[in-house]
Amino acid sequence: MKAAGLVLYKFCDFAFLPRPICHLSRLWPAGPCNGLAGSLSPGVNSTTCPQWPALHPTKHRGLSEDLDVAYSSGDFKQRAIQVLGEAVRVPTESYDDNGPVGEDSRWDTFAELHRVLEASFPRVYESLNVTKVNTYGLVFHWQGSSTAKPYILAAHQDVVPVEGQTVKDWKHDPYSGYYDGTWIWGRGTCDDKSDLIQQLLAIDSLLKQDFSPARTLILSYGFDEESKGTEGAGHLARYLEETYGRDSFALLLDEGGHYTDMGGIVFAAPSTSEKGYLDVEITLSTLGGHSSVPPSHTSIGLLSRFIAAVEDNPHQASLSRTGTPFATTQCLAAYSPLYPDDLRRLARQAVTNDAALKVLQERLLASDPLYKAMLGTTQAVDLVQGGVKVNALPERASAVINHRIAEHSSVGELQQHMIDLLTPLAAKYDLALVAFGSNVTYGSAGRVVLSDFLGTALEPSPVTPTEYGPWALLQGSIKATFESSPTRNSSKVVVTPSLSIGNTDTRFYWNLTKHIFRFSPSFDTDSFNGAHTINEAFRTDSLNEGVRFYTKFILNMDESDLL
């Protein structure tokens, strides 16, 4: 069996913090393809990958169908292109080194975006309560008539900065919002102004039809998702928790995984958990001096041994039945026509058979490097620097190891792994070891310090339950939207939970609800060239499909008895 990997990067990921939201490994039989024999059709339910039926609004069935029609009109399409283009024309770049709001004037551009949004959606601004949090964070409160728990749709207003020297490589100016008949061009068309605009278009359309919600809906739009997130979602989360209370929302839906076509079957892969994050900086300090009378080891030489020790001791990957990757694997095994038959059988056996689980794990790990990332904590030595002159002994050398922490692990476990691994080495070279603020060993030849590089440690997210309510409602809404689409020929979609390797603004929202989903209602192929790079562009046909999804999702939520 030969395997080829398919990484579905959400087109809303960063250039440098690439966040493949949806990792689905495509297993490809090398011989003649007869793989359709064993896979279930999307319309058939599976015990290992439960598929709820499409959920169409019932109370608001007429409204939903009317809007389906309206969204297919040329007028609506033109309006959608217009409002997305206008939002894109405001270059709301967020920089890694931005200062606090009010001090750094580079944030001021967000005021212009607010003016554009208010001009595009006067109805929304009239009917909903708009609160500005930390000046540029936007909270829209749409009061419901019942006391049902409110819910949140989230998106972010900011975009990845366009690097000056790349502007000439764009087919159309990155802030033109130019529509060429198929694509809308510009930074933010995919990531994430399309989600934001599609949500507002759905709400505006519902308002126009005089819809008035039973369940309160909150929109929460951050403005520095692409940099630190603290100024936007960080403040928004605090505001929402203070205003509505801890665990006070029925669910939260933010940007995330997409639709993708695998061998003729479409999969939607909302992410139900995110890996954790820790950048460990290793800093070696020794005496400097003249390079002409050198010691046996310089700080750089010592650092090299620590780096090699880290790489020589990778974290164990493990396929646990309680983990999200296991659920994703079961869904692919059940429904992907490209899945090799023997692996499909193995996956099925692995549900109860421990030996089969072990074999499956090994087979998956051998098939594609993606599985190492899905099943365990990964490490990558991404930065190193040391020394100032070629003829002076370096007094300091440091490296940074980027970690994505497995769903089943924790920051503490990773730190302990580093300490256990590196303490003997520090002792061998007579170095004092200070790890994450604590003295671990003493030594006289120098010092090695382990620290959280930029203070960005993040635990793996809580895992959103998929056994009940909110997941079924999301699944049903996706299926209803997809199956009623005028362009999809009534084809079916399989909805599979997934683990996200990158992080979204949702990392600030954990206190608000257990039910956090990360999903953007478009195809991977609706993006011209991905996000965070040149030639970001969004397929306009996808706009009304997205609005249809948000509409059905809102109506379903409103009708539901979710707690």
Binding site residue list for Zn(2+): 156, 191, 226, 254, 532
Number of residues located near a copy of itself, criterion CB under 8 A:
59
Contact 260, 495 (CB under 8 A): no
Cβ atoms of 499 and 322 within 8 Å: the answer is no
Q: Can you tell me the distance from the alpha carbon of 271 to that of 258, in angstroms, rounded to the nearest whole number?
A: 9
Give the footprint of a copy of itself on residues 398-417 (CB under 8 A): 399-400, 402, 404
Please, what is the minimum distance in Å from the beta carbon of residue 393 to a copy of itself? 6
Q: Is 430 a catalytic residue?
A: no
Burial (Cβ within 10 Å: 0-12, 13-18, ≥19) of residue 467: exposed
Given 13, 158, 255, 407, the catalytic residue: 158
Query: Which of 421, 347, 414, 477 lies closest to 47, judged by CA?
Result: 347
The reply on whether position 7 binds a copy of itself by CB under 8 A is: yes
Cβ nearer to a copy of itself, comparing 378 with 475: 378
In angstroms, give the least distance from the CB of 28 to a copy of itself.
18
Please choose, from the candidates 19, 5, 84, the residue with its C-alpha nearest in 3D space to the C-alpha of residue 507.
19
| Residue for token pair 């403040």 | 235
298 or 481: CB nearest a copy of itself: 298
**In the set 373, 406, 434, 493, which binds a copy of itself (CB under 8 A)?**
373
391 binds a copy of itself (CB under 8 A): yes
Q: Does 303 bind a copy of itself (CB under 8 A)?
A: yes
Beta strand pairing call for 431-435 and 438-441? antiparallel
Residue 445: other Cβ atoms inside 10 A: 14
Q: Catalytic annotation on 158?
A: yes
282 strand-pairing partners: 399, 450
Is 287 a binding residue for a copy of itself by CB under 8 A? The answer is no
* Helices and strands (H, E) in the chain, number of each type: 14, 24
What's the start-to-end Cα distance of the chain, in Å?
47
Residue 430 binding a copy of itself, by CB under 8 A: no
| Structural contact between residues 413 and 398, judged by C-beta atoms closer than 8 angstroms | no
Active-site residue, from 195, 225, 231, 524: 225
Contact set for a copy of itself, span 444-473 (CB under 8 A): 453-454
Q: Which of 42, 177, 229, 394 binds a copy of itself (CB under 8 A)?
A: 394
Coil vs helix vs strand at 133: strand
Stretch binding a copy of itself (CB under 8 A), from 49-57, 364-372, 423-431, 434-442: 364-372
List contacts with a copy of itself (CB under 8 A): 7, 14, 16-20, 23, 275, 279, 290-298, 300-301, 303-305, 307-308, 310-311, 314, 369-370, 372-373, 378-394, 397, 399-400, 402, 404, 453-454, 501-502
Active centre residues (catalytic): 158, 225
